[in-house]
Structure 1
Amino acid sequence: MPPSAASAREVDTLVIGAGQAGLATSYWLGRAGVDHLLLERRPELGGAWQDRWDSFYLNTPNFAFLLPGHIYDGPEPEAFLPRDEVISLFRDYARRIAAPVQLGTEVTRVARADGFSADGGFAVETDQGNLLARNVVLANGAYQRPRIPPSSANIPGHIRQLHSHDYRNPQELPEGAVLVVGTGQSGGQITEDLLDAGREVRLSVSSCPEAPRRYRGEDTFYWLLQVNLHGPEYGINGLHREQLPSPAARFMCNPLISGNDGGHSIHLRELGRRGVRLHGHFEGTDDGVLAFSDDLTARLAMVETGFGQRMQVMLDAYIAAAGIDAPAAEAVPVDDWLPSESGARLDLVAEGITSVIWCTGYGLDFGFLDMPVLDEWNYPRHTRGVTEIPGLYAVGLPWLTCHASSTVALVGADAEYVAAHIAAR
C-alpha cells in the first residue's frame, strides 16, 4: 500500500470528471446505492461546454437532450440550445440528482493500490489531497487536450494564435484578416461567426464531410440517433464500434453542420461565395509562409460526397428495413463554384493576416494514469467501458460502444452498464 494511504480519504467509487459522462454515471451509481465521489478540475459545473465560444449553439436538437432521468419535454423539441443554457441545464441536473461533486480538483496520478481491498483498488493523487478508491471511472471526456500542429511554432510571434478551445468572439482578436484551419463543426461555425462580424477570413479545408441539416423529413441527427439505438434490430450495424474499419476511425470528425440560427447546413462553396478565401489542407509553415495541399477542387468534391457515400446509404437502409414511411430524399443541387485560385501558399504578413485559429480538434488526455491500460491511440483498452484492469472503467469517449457514445443523447446507456458492473462487484 502506498505510503500516503494512512492519510488518504477512502471512497468506494471515484468518478473523474463531472461533465455529461460523469453526471450520467453518478445518476446510475446513486440509483444502485453505490457510494461515490465525482472530481471536477473546473471551478464550476458545466463540463467542456464552458470552453465553447460565445455564439455557440448545441448541434443536436433539444429532443436529443436525453440524460438519465431527464428527457426534454419543452415546447421546442426541434430547436437548439445556446451555450449558456446548456451549461445551466447541466448544473441544474447535477443539483436534481444530488451528484456528490468536488470542484476545483485536478487528478494528477492514478495507480494500483493492491491490498486496499480484497479485489484491488487505486491510489489517486490530486492537487487537493489523496484518495483510495475501490473503483475508478474515467469520465473526463474527449475534449481535454487541444491539438495544434507542431509547425505552428514557426509562425511569427506577432501573429495571434489560438485553438478553438480558447476562442470566444471576433472582438477579442486583433484587427486584420483571420485564418481558420480546419472545417469540422468548430471550424465551420467559427468561420460564420467571423463573417457575421465583418471579418476577412481564410479557411483551410480538411476532410470532414458536409451533411444536410434535415434529411427525409427529419433532422439528420434524428435518423442517426435511431440507427444508433435501433439499427442492430434491423441488421444495420454501421454505427456500432465493432464495425469500425480501424481503431483510428474512432477519431474521425463529425459532419459539418450547425445549430445556430435555428439549425442549418454549412457549405464550403457557399462560404467561398460569401468572400471566404479557401485553401487546401494545412501542410506546414516556413517563416510566415504557410503551405497547403494543392487539391482544393478534389477536396471540395470529397467533402460534398462523404455524406452520400456512407451516412445516406446507412440511413436509407435503416428507413427501408424499419418500414418507415419517410419522404424521398431531396435531390442535391449541382454546385460547381470554384475559387479563382487554389491558394497553395499563403504569406501571412503580405495578406494582412493577424490571427490564426486552429480548429484542429482534441486529443485524449490520460496522462495521470500510471498503469498500462492505454492502446497506441491513447485510448483505454476496454469492453463496453470495462477495462482490462479490474475496477477501472471508462464512459463518455467517442465510439465507446457506438457512434453517439460521447453525446448527451446516449452517454447514459454506457453509464448505466458501467454502473451496473460496479454494483455487481
Structure 2
Amino acid sequence: MNKPVLEVIVVGAGHAGICVSYYLAKQGIGHLVFEQGRIGEVWRSQRWDSFKMNSANKLNLLPHQAPYFEDPDAFASATEFALALENYAQQEKLPVKQYCTVLSVQTDQEQAIYRVTVSEAGKETTYLSQQLVIASGGQNRIRLPDFAHQLAKSVVQLHASEYKNARQLPDGNVLVVGSAQSGTQIAQDLLRSGRNVFLSTGRVGRIPRRYRGKDIFDWLVEIGFYDTRTDEVTEPSLLQVKNPQVSGAGERGKTSSLQSLARSGAVILGRADRAEANTIFFQTNTSSNVKYADEFSRHVKQLIDEYIQKNKVLAPLADVDLDDVPDEDASCASDLTKLNLVEEAITSIIWTTGFSGDFSYLPLPVLNEEKLPTHRNGVGVVNGLYFIGLPWLRKRHSAIILGIREDAEFIVGHIVKSSRPGGQ
C-alpha cells in the first residue's frame, strides 16, 4: 500500500465537522475534512434572505472562538454565521478540503481501513483513513409529501431550502405547508412583503422569545432543559418532537405563534392531508394544533418558574407579550378543510416539510431500515465509525449549535482511545 493512511477523515464542514476538526487538531491527530461545497454550505444555500439564527450569537460559539459580533445577544444571519465558521477554520488552520463531494465509502477488512472516494477538481480520488466521522448532518435531502406531485403544474412549488424571498414567486397568494420554525418564519416573511398567506399547521410547540428578564434560550440552558440524555428517554415519541416555534427576526428576536400570524392576516389551517389537481385537503386538527403550541409554551414557562422558586433566583415578573397570550378558544383557527387553489388565487406553495439525511455513500451495515445511521451516542456499529450533528445524538442539545461542542469532544475522546499506530 503506497498511499498514506490518515488517522481520521471527517465528512462535512458545517459547525459539527469544524468542531470535530478543532478537537482532532488539538490532539495532534492527522486528518482531513471533506466538504461538498463551501464551509458552512447549508447555512449559505438553504436559508432565505431574511433568515436569522434562533439562538443568540453568544450561544453559537465553537471552542475558543472569539466573539464574532459586538452584540452577544443579537441574532446573526445565516451567511454571517457561515462566514464566522470559515474564519474560525482559517484561524485554527483546520485541514478542510472544500468542493470535495464524497462519492463512496468502503472498508478494507484486511487492512482495517476506510477507503473514501471523493470527486475533487473534476476527478475521482481515493483517500485512506483508520477512522471516519460522518458530520454531514440530517438535512441534506429535502422531504416532500407524495401528494405534492399530484398538484397542477401551473402551481409553483418550492421547498423551504429553495425559498429566498417573495420576489421569486409569481403574483398571487401563497400556501405555506408546515408550522415548525421554518414554516412560521417564512409565513411571517411573506406577510411582511404584503402577500396573503395560508398556513397549514402541524403539532408543533412554541416558546416565548423572552421571559422574566432573559432570552428564553438563556433560561433553557440554565435550567438544564437541554441536558436530557437520549439513553434516559423512556417515551420514543419525545425523540420525534420538532424544535419549537421561535424567531430571531428583529433587533432582539420575537415570539412566534399561530395567533400572532393570524393577526397579521394569515389563514391558519390544519395539517395538509392530500391533493387533487387544484385542490388540497386538510385535517380537522387546526384547533388542537393551536392549543398544543400554547400548552408547550405554558409548560416551559412553568419549568422556569419552578426553577426560579426552588433556587431563589432573582428574576422580574414576566412582561406582557401579546404574541404569547394563549388563544384559549383557538379562535385563530380556520375551519376550512379544503382549498381550491384557483378560487383562492394561490399561485405558490412553500413546503417547509423538513429534510432527511443522505447517507447513500455509506454502503456499510450501519444504516437501519429507514436508511438512517445506527449508533449509540454517536458511536457507530462498525469499528472506527462515528456520527455527529444528528438530533438526539447524545442529548437533547445535540440538535442545537450549543450542544455540538460537548458531542465533538466526546467523539474525539473515543477516537483518541481507539487510535491505532501507523496513522499519518
The alignment's TM-score, normalised by the length of structure 2, stands at: 0.90
Shift of 1:73: 7.2
Question: Which range is displaced more, 292-301 or 66-75?
Answer: 66-75
| Distance in 1 separating the partners of 2:281 and 2:63 | 47
Structure 1 runs not aligned, ≥5 long: 1-5
SS in 2 for 1:53: coil
* Residue pair 1:381, 1:387 contacting (<8 A) in 2 also: yes
SS in 1 for 2:131: strand
Shift of 1:18: 0.3
2:170 corresponds to: 174
State the AA in 1 paired with 2:276: D
* Residue pair 2:227, 2:397 contacting (<8 A) in 1 also: no
Determine if the alignment matches structure 1 residue 92 to structure 2 residue 87.
Answer: yes
SS in 1 for 2:80: helix
* Residue pair 2:68, 2:84 contacting (<8 A) in 1 also: no
Cα deviation per residue 1:58-116 (whole Å; 9 max; x = unaligned)? 11011202201215375422111122211211111110111111111211222221122
Aligned pair in 2 of structure 1 residues 333, 103: CA closer, same or farther (>3 Å)? closer
| Distance in 2 separating the partners of 1:276 and 1:73 | 36
2:196 corresponds to: 200
* Residue pair 2:226, 2:395 contacting (<8 A) in 1 also: no
* Residue pair 2:258, 2:332 contacting (<8 A) in 1 also: no
| Distance in 2 separating the partners of 1:151 and 1:189 | 24
2:43 corresponds to: 49
State the AA in 2 paired with 1:171: R
Shift of 1:248: 5.0
Cα deviation per residue 1:177-198 (whole Å; 9 max; x = unaligned)? 1100011110111111111111
Aligned pair in 2 of structure 1 residues 421, 49: CA closer, same or farther (>3 Å)? same
Question: Which range is displaced more, 163-172 or 215-224?
Answer: 215-224
Question: Which range is displaced more, 342-351 or 8-17?
Answer: 8-17
* Residue pair 1:135, 1:422 contacting (<8 A) in 2 also: yes
SS in 2 for 1:11: strand
Shift of 1:250: 2.9
* Residue pair 1:164, 1:357 contacting (<8 A) in 2 also: yes
1:220 corresponds to: 216
Determine if the alignment matches structure 1 residue 407 to structure 2 residue 400.
Answer: yes
Aligned pair in 2 of structure 1 residues 278, 160: CA closer, same or farther (>3 Å)? same
* Residue pair 1:65, 1:72 contacting (<8 A) in 2 also: no
State the AA in 2 paired with 1:56: F
Matched length: 408
2:422 corresponds to: none
* Residue pair 2:176, 2:183 contacting (<8 A) in 1 also: yes
SS in 1 for 2:250: helix
Aligned pair in 2 of structure 1 residues 378, 251: CA closer, same or farther (>3 Å)? farther
Aligned pair in 2 of structure 1 residues 251, 93: CA closer, same or farther (>3 Å)? farther
Aligned pair in 2 of structure 1 residues 312, 340: CA closer, same or farther (>3 Å)? closer
RMSD: 2.2
Determine if the alignment matches structure 1 residue 324 to structure 2 residue 318.
Answer: no
Aligned pair in 2 of structure 1 residues 318, 14: CA closer, same or farther (>3 Å)? farther
SS in 1 for 2:128: strand
* Residue pair 2:286, 2:334 contacting (<8 A) in 1 also: no
| Distance in 1 separating the partners of 2:298 and 2:228 | 15
Cα deviation per residue 1:226-265 (whole Å; 9 max; x = unaligned)? 34xxx3xxxx787321233444533421111100102000
Aligned pair in 2 of structure 1 residues 168, 396: CA closer, same or farther (>3 Å)? same
* Residue pair 1:211, 1:307 contacting (<8 A) in 2 also: yes
* Residue pair 2:200, 2:271 contacting (<8 A) in 1 also: yes
| Distance in 2 separating the partners of 1:318 and 1:394 | 34
Determine if the alignment matches structure 1 residue 279 to structure 2 residue 275.
Answer: no
Determine if the alignment matches structure 1 residue 301 to structure 2 residue 291.
Answer: yes
Cα deviation per residue 1:35-76 (whole Å; 9 max; x = unaligned)? 00000011x222321111111011101120220121537542
The alignment's TM-score, normalised by the length of structure 1, stands at: 0.90
Q: Name the % identity.
A: 33
* Residue pair 2:176, 2:198 contacting (<8 A) in 1 also: yes
| Distance in 2 separating the partners of 1:408 and 1:333 | 29
Question: Which range is displaced more, 242-251 or 170-179?
Answer: 242-251
Shift of 1:396: 1.4
| Distance in 2 separating the partners of 1:338 and 1:52 | 32
| Distance in 1 separating the partners of 2:368 and 2:309 | 38
| Distance in 1 separating the partners of 2:178 and 2:333 | 21
The partner residue of 1:253 within 218, 221, 242 is 242
State the AA in 1 paired with 2:49: D
